[in-house]
Amino acid sequence: MSVYYVDKSTGTAADTLLMAGFATMLDQVHYATGHGTPELVIEDSGPYWQIRAGVDLTDDDLERLAPFELLRLLITPTQRKALGEHASGFDYEQQQQQRTRYFELRAALPDKYRLPGTNMSSDDPGLQMQLDRVAAARPSPELPLFAAINQMKAATSYNDLVQRWQKLLADVTVFRAHVRLLLRLFRTTPNPTDEVLPEFAALTEQRGLGKPDATLLQITNPTTGKGLNRAKADGLTLGGISGFWLFELLKFVGFFAVALPQRIQDSDDRKTYVLRVQEVSYHHLQQIMPEFREVLWQNSPVKLDILAALYLARLLIEKHRDAFKQIADAQRRRHRRHRHSQPLLIDLIQGLDVVFYKSLGSAVATMNLSFVALPDWLPLPDTLDEAQRYIAREPRPGLLTEHIAIISRLEENKGDEEALVQYYRDFLSSRDPLLSAFFAFCRGYASLAMRHLARNEYVPLFSTENLEVLMTARDTQHPQEPPLTPILQREGLRNIARAIRESTIRAQYRVAQENDRRYEIAYGLGQELARSLNQRGQFIATLMDFVRRYNAETAREEEKVARDHGGKITPEVRRANRLRRLVTTEDVEDLVAVIDEYDHKVVGNLLLAYGYAFDSAAIRSIETGTSDADPIEEGNSIINEGA
């Protein structure tokens, strides 16, 4: 086994692009020397990236190395004039036309098939033919990458770098010499650039290959670009910073390997997402990126960050859990001795470095560098059943699918919904074991959901089942913290949460869908309970006042039904009349005991989140016929299906 090291010199995504570009070239070298595609494992080792190769390259290997392409020229009408009529490469105009055709065909599909990442298959032969036509019209997955290069005015510089590499292909001796120097440069850390770069420069001059430097472009070097840049402050000159041309070429190779550029919705601004690896196989990155680019579409700025993280997390679990098994086993052994027993997604991919580019009309400027983490509480599943708890789409959505649906419905340009989006982004990035940002999101989303339901509009809700999945995952990640899952198992909390649900989303459904106005809708209940969380006594008092009102209203309706049935209410009568259940003194005592055991804010947050979620257990028992659950709970399922 051989090991290579790529130093981090800028602390930005440019380091990742250089590493990914070198890994791509190394993979090509192995293939071109007859070693096939041996496993390359990339690991973030702090000050440098480490790339472990399964085989050693010998001098004999490099002596028979055949030249290979790394990138294609970008052919636009403007670039064709400069490159010549016979230049071949990526036909940008043709791919743009194909993209237009693709979205025209996709727009004619049923709503279900117009969503990102939808499975394009159907039992209907006619619809399947239509889906096949859409699939056949799909443009190249590289189109967004070339579009970014073209729209950021980097096409000429990009093509210049590609042409320099193509010059090496014409002389196998020079080509092999460049590869040898690159391999030598990255065989040790710190990388001996002061020693090796002069050898590159001498080789370039000796062979008449032009200048050894190239302008650093913002698209691959987000903190540099055209401007007032001088190594010494002895004057002001408008111009760009230069770097070694082969490094700049490799950054573009890495751009195609691990970057996803995307336009901001209704804007000329854009973002570029770059995978930040922790420890993963290069070939698995190759499998991930095309699918990731397929599902992440234009959106508003913060929503785009959130959906990027959620889609990437779901994709890692959905498509590649078997491929990660070998590394996951190694991680599992390691973490048994360290901080947790089960590997997490962030042990493979940490998240996404984000570069925000502001459009200035004829140019763009880097405005912000940020990082979007993958959920740090999400373990890497061992089995298909575990994976389904996160990624399932039917018959009920898994946790990630449910969160994607909820975030996708929010409109960031609305004040209250903008705050919710910010809360959720904080939840992804905060690493807070108390999940404070998530519960703040749940409290705000409960109010929003009630407003939508009041207007008889579809709104996706969290499910109790997926809240339990989230809390279980959180407990696994933070074993040193008091576990949250046992709180959700307490009968007192579950029954009082059901009462909250009956007085809010369920009562609203009765009115909107069934014209059933027997029970008052507690519109401000969530806000009242949330405001009372500052003080333990106030929270308990507010909650008990709700329970009193709820029981009085429930008992009044029971009394009416009892008069009509000779004073006795059987389970059959209860179901037929769709009566609510009373909160018992045992329920109250149990909940107060939980509050005494845990912090009242933790219990209150869980109670509100659970109370404004639809009851998965009740729906499941109705579907399977395994209990006499109250059939009115079916309304919760209907709400979440948008019926």
pLDDT digit string, tens, across residues 336-366: 444 445 677 888 899 999 999 999 888 889 9
**pLDDT-based confidence at 88, cuts 50/70/90?**
very high
Whole-angstrom Cα distance, residue 382 to residue 379?
9
Residue 378 domain boundaries: 273-421
**Residues 464, 541 within the same domain:** yes
Instruction: State the average pLDDT over residues 385-411.
Output: 90
**Residues 443, 579 within the same domain:** yes
Q: Residue 260: what pLDDT? A: 97
**pLDDT-based confidence at 225, cuts 50/70/90?**
low
**Residues 566, 587 within the same domain:** yes
Is 339 within the bounds of a domain? yes
Q: Residue 334: what pLDDT? A: 53
Number of domains within the chain: 2
The identity of residue 242, as a single letter, is: S
Is 244 within the bounds of a domain? no
Q: Residue 634: what pLDDT? A: 42
Supply the mean pLDDT for the chain.
87
**Residues 368, 311 within the same domain:** yes
Instruction: State the average pLDDT over residues 471-487.
Output: 91
**Residues 245-286 pLDDT 10s:** 999 999 999 999 999 999 999 999 999 999 999 999 998 899
Domain boundary among 421, 441, 462: 421
**Residues 443, 507 within the same domain:** yes
Is pLDDT above 80 for 227?
Answer: no
Domain boundary among 371, 390, 421: 421
Is pLDDT above 50 for 630?
Answer: no
Is 288 within the bounds of a domain? yes
Structure-token pair, residue 237? 């000159």
Q: State what percent of residues in the chain have pLDDT above 90.
A: 63
Whole-angstrom Cα distance, residue 640 to residue 397?
10
Beta-sheet pairing, 40-44 with 74-75: unpaired
Looking at per-residue pLDDT, the higher value among 305 and 510 belongs to: 305
**Residues 502-511 pLDDT 10s:** 999 999 888 8
**Residues 454-463 pLDDT 10s:** 888 888 999 9
Is 438 within the bounds of a domain? yes
**Residues 281, 360 within the same domain:** yes
Whole-angstrom Cα distance, residue 524 to residue 236?
61
**Residues 515, 588 within the same domain:** yes
Is pLDDT above 60 for 629?
Answer: no
Q: Which of 160-169, 235-244, 382-391, 587-596 has the lowest mean pLDDT?
A: 235-244
Q: Residue 509: what pLDDT? A: 85
Q: Residue 241: what pLDDT? A: 74
Looking at per-residue pLDDT, the higher value among 35 and 231 belongs to: 35
Q: b vs e for 367-406, b when ≥16 Cβ sit within 10 Å of the residue's Cβ?
A: eeeeebbbbbbbbbbeeeeebebbbbbeebbbbbbbbbbb
**Residues 458, 355 within the same domain:** no
**Residues 566, 484 within the same domain:** yes
Among 82, 60, 63, residue whose Cα is nearest residue 73: 82
Q: Residue 329: what pLDDT? A: 54
**Residues 420-444 pLDDT 10s:** 999 999 998 888 899 999 999 999 9
Whole-angstrom Cα distance, residue 230 to residue 238?
9
Among 182, 156, 154, 179, residue whose Cα is nearest residue 168: 179
The identity of residue 425, as a single letter, is: R
**pLDDT-based confidence at 563, cuts 50/70/90?**
confident
Looking at per-residue pLDDT, the higher value among 306 and 568 belongs to: 306
Instruction: State the average pLDDT over residues 49-72.
Output: 94
* Measured CA distances, 353 to 257, 270, 277 (Å): 14, 14, 10
Is 330 within the bounds of a domain? yes
Instruction: State the average pLDDT over residues 68-92.
Output: 94
Is 445 within the bounds of a domain? yes
The beta strands (E) that lie in 489-624 are given as none
Q: Residue 623: what pLDDT? A: 36
Among 326, 346, 216, 351, residue whose Cα is nearest residue 274: 351
Report residue 256 CA to chain centroid gap: 19
Is 322 within the bounds of a domain? yes
**pLDDT-based confidence at 151, cuts 50/70/90?**
very high
Q: How many CB atoms lie within 10 A of CB 541?
A: 12
Is pLDDT above 50 for 642?
Answer: no
**Residues 370, 503 within the same domain:** no
Check if the beta carbon of residue 103 is closer than 8 Å to that of residue 179.
no
Is 149 within the bounds of a domain? no
The pairs formed by 539-548 with CB atoms below 8 angstroms and a separation of 24 or more are 539/600, 539/604, 540/592, 540/595, 540/600, 543/496, 543/591, 543/607, 544/588, 546/499, 546/500, 546/503, 546/522, 547/496, 547/499, 547/583, 547/588
**Residues 446, 409 within the same domain:** no
Can you give the length of the chain in residues? 643
Among 47, 140, 34, residue whose Cα is nearest residue 94: 140
**Residues 482, 629 within the same domain:** yes
Is pLDDT above 60 for 619?
Answer: no
Is pLDDT above 70 for 181?
Answer: yes
* Measured CA distances, 127 to 108, 134, 138, 193, 385 (Å): 11, 11, 17, 58, 31
Domain boundary among 387, 421, 455: 421
Q: Which of 78-92, 226-240, 267-281, 569-583 has the lowest mean pLDDT?
A: 226-240
Q: State what percent of residues in the chain have pLDDT above 70.
A: 90
In the 8-state DSSP scheme, what is residue 534?
A: G
Q: Name the pTM for this structure.
A: 0.88
